[in-house]
Amino acid sequence: MKKKSVHLIYVVAACLMASCSSTWDDQYADTPFEAVAISGLSVGSDSMEFGYDGGTQQLAITTEGYWTVASSAGWLQLSTNHGKGSTAISISASANTSTTQTRSATLTVSNGADSRTVSIMQEAVGEQLEVSVVELSFPYTGGSSDVRVTANIGWTVSSDASWLKVSKNAEGTGFSVNAQQNIGTQERHATVTVQGSGLSHTISVSQTAVMAPTISIPTVTNINKHTADCQFSFTSAELDVTEYGICYSSQTSSPDKGNAQTLGQQSSDRSGNPSFALTELTSKTIYYIRAYVVTALGTQYGEAAQFTTPSAVPNEGDNQTPND
């Protein structure tokens, strides 16, 4: 009788065990956090550091059972906050926009029996001031260029040249640089300075010079006691010529419109080969002659030539002047 009772107890126990196993699988399949704790848990690192611009790092979790991860900060995002067995999860930090405050957070990894803490640190962005260019170049005609500014502080912009104007845009994300026309024959330079809260950037600006007209040395022909013919050529690649002519004198080797006789002609051309007739010259005299043109640059002179009137010319006849 006793043997039958023992056998009956074993059968009942086996049935209960089978029933319990089936009930565990059904009850906890979708709720792993209520699982029976299994000792033994480790993580790949007990600390992490992120730059101010954020990013993503991996955290290894080693355990045989179910685990959970809890974050103390909303600026951290986890690829998952629970799982089972050994794996790795992604930890992502958003950008820290504070100029002075570093921030910290804590991750707590637990499997019910053990827990591990991971300390997270993220640096502050700091004060930022950056410009999109360090050099600008303009043609002699002038022009405008836009410069982007990346900053988390207030900033100002200035130019050290009167011919170069700067102005911030309405959004405060940059500024425009405007160069006036360079009517000089020399290339010119300026500096634009962007600064704020102790930070500073400079932009080097250059502008080409206008190409001055080329003027040939006058050629003098048909030289008589009191007359001669003169011809020269000019070319202006970039500027209109509004006037051209010649200046000649026996008193100075550098004749110009202010100290010599002048023969001029209005113009709207950029090149030409004009000729002029010189009259009322004095015989037996050395003359100096230069050609000139007038453009937006003002009056430019070519190199001087010289010629000498004779005392007598065969077949000239008796055509005399009071200067003879």
- Looking at residue 75, its amino acid is W
| 97 C-beta neighbours (distance < 10 Å), count | 11
User: Among 41, 49, 62, 44, which residue's Cα sits nearest to residue 119?
Assistant: 49
Q: What is the distance between the alpha carbons of residues 13 and 309, in angstroms, rounded to a whole number?
A: 144
Report CA torsion sign: 25, 31, 36, 38.
positive
| 99 C-beta neighbours (distance < 10 Å), count | 14
Question: Tokens 């007739």 — which residue?
Answer: 277
Q: What is the distance between the alpha carbons of residues 216 and 249, in angstroms, rounded to a whole number?
A: 18
Check if the beta carbon of residue 218 is closer than 8 Å to that of residue 291. Answer: yes
| 118 C-beta neighbours (distance < 10 Å), count | 19
Q: What is the distance between the alpha carbons of residues 126 and 96, in angstroms, rounded to a whole number?
A: 9
Q: What angle do CA 22, 23, 24 make, to 5 degrees?
A: 95
Burial classification of residue 298, based on how many CB atoms lie within 10 Å of its CB (0-12 exposed, 13-18 middle, 19 or more buried): exposed
Give me the pLDDT at residue 23, please: 40
pLDDT, tens only, 53-79? 999 999 999 999 999 999 999 999 999
User: What are residue 106's phi and psi, to 5 degrees?
Assistant: -135, 135
Q: For the whole prediction, is pTM greater than 0.75?
A: no
What residues of the chain score a pLDDT lower than 70? 1-39, 313-324
Give me the pLDDT at residue 183, please: 85
Give me the pLDDT at residue 314, please: 60
User: Residue 163: CB partners within 8 Å, gap ≥ 6?
Assistant: 179, 180, 182, 188, 190, 207
Q: What is the 3-state secondary structure (H, E, C) of 155-204?
A: CEEEECCCCEEEEECCCCCEEEEEECCCCCCCCEEEEEEEEECCEEEEEE
pLDDT, tens only, 233-287? 999 998 999 999 999 999 999 999 999 999 999 999 999 999 999 999 999 999 9
